[in-house]
A = this chain, B = another copy of it.
Amino acid sequence: MSKKIKVGVVGYGTVGRGTVQTLISNATEIKRKTGLDVVVAGVADLHITDKNDLYLEQVPLRTTCADELIANPDIDIIIELIGGTGAAFDIISKALKNGKHVVTANKALLAMRGTELMALAHSMHFNLMFEASVGGGIPVLSVLQNDLAANHILKIEGIVNGTCNYILTRMEREKLPFETILADAQKLGYAEADPSGDVEGYDSVYKMIILAYLAYGKWVDVKDVERVGITQIGLAQIEAAHVAGQRIKLIGSVEKQGDDIFIAVKPKAVPLESVLADVSGVFNGIEIVGDKVGSLFLQGQGAGSLATASAVCADILKIAGTLK
């Protein structure tokens, strides 16, 4: 019988719920593929008493206090899914110091304090993994880090924010202005009440910083990234691009020139025949160019409970594979 690997999930929002659901509902398939028994030993959430579902019921330890999971000697891996850059930093660093591996989806925290966190993980000899922080279910970090390890990365270009892409896609198709589509997207849950993190390009900036780190091993400072959001995009611009055989997309790009890494996030008119032009709605798409592999393109769901959970679980299983 293989050893049970125990995980503690901190944050039971959209992704937390998807992760617990995936680990429980697909336990047999996971075991078949990897030989691993991964068990959700506990879930911590400030509002845990308000949460209830079929899967949470099966978790033995439910608590409002993350420390209870971090201090639990039975737990091997802490999954940080509360987001933000305050409490999440403390949870991750405490977990690493307590001898836990950590999986997170927290792009803002990594982009801002990745240097410290990776140094801490390194010094403690524990893993800090974050596949779900970029591109939702698309395994772009693993591809960059492992599958393209023999390549010099020449360029990365991508659509990494589903909210912006959803808005731009609908503006083009329905010929309605930004404000109208944004309001509808908010109503449908595709945009947040305060949409600035998405539509001003911050979210994309964080993600491109993470991609650049995996390609080049350096954390670029947020303030060194050129950033333009989509709030100023008008229908006239979309129409003009269309006439020119192009489509406006919010494009994040990473390029290396000598020892300098340049990251930009801004609206760009891409040719209709390019791979990025066809990434529509909430989908994400990322093109990586390597000196050996050439152009490699990945497209998938950039957000959503289960798609993102797929990436969180991939990290969990990779760590678990080293523990059995």
A121 CB–B CB distance under 8 Å: no
A222 CB–B CB distance under 8 Å: no
Contact with B along A32-59 (1 / 0, CB 8 A): 1110000000000000000000000000
* Cα(A18)–Cα(B38), bound, Å: 40
**Is the beta-carbon distance between A292 and B314 smaller than 8 angstroms?**
no
**Is the beta-carbon distance between B314 and A147 smaller than 8 angstroms?**
yes
**Given A149-B313, A278-B278, A313-B149, do A137 and B293 touch, yes or no (CB 8 Å)?**
yes
Name A27's closest neighbour in chain B (CB-CB): B150
A163 CB–B CB distance under 8 Å: no
**Is the beta-carbon distance between B299 and A296 smaller than 8 angstroms?**
yes
Task: Give the contact stretch, choosing among A199-207, A262-270, A304-312.
Answer: A304-312
Listed in ascending order, the chain A residues whose CB lies under 8 Å from chain B are: 18, 22-23, 26, 29-30, 32-34, 131, 137-139, 142-143, 145-152, 217, 275, 278, 290-301, 304, 306-307, 309-311, 313-314, 316-318
**Is the beta-carbon distance between B317 and A150 smaller than 8 angstroms?**
yes
* Cα(A131)–Cα(B151), bound, Å: 15
* Cα(A130)–Cα(B80), bound, Å: 34
* Cα(A290)–Cα(B314), bound, Å: 13
When distances are taken between beta carbons in the complex, the residues of chain B under 8 Å from A299 are 275, 296-299
Shortest Cβ distance from residue A153 to the other chain B in the assembled complex, whole angstroms: 9
**Given A34-B149, A275-B278, do A292 and B318 touch, yes or no (CB 8 Å)?**
no
Q: Which of B142, B151, B297, B316 contacts A298 (CB 8 A)?
A: B297
**Given A145-B33, A217-B32, A298-B298, do A292 and B150 touch, yes or no (CB 8 Å)?**
no
**Is the beta-carbon distance between B294 and A152 smaller than 8 angstroms?**
no
**Is the beta-carbon distance between B290 and A294 smaller than 8 angstroms?**
no
**Is the beta-carbon distance between A147 and B152 smaller than 8 angstroms?**
no
When distances are taken between beta carbons in the complex, the residues of chain B under 8 Å from A131 are 147
**Is the beta-carbon distance between A292 and B33 smaller than 8 angstroms?**
no
Shortest Cβ distance from residue A302 to the other chain B in the assembled complex, whole angstroms: 11
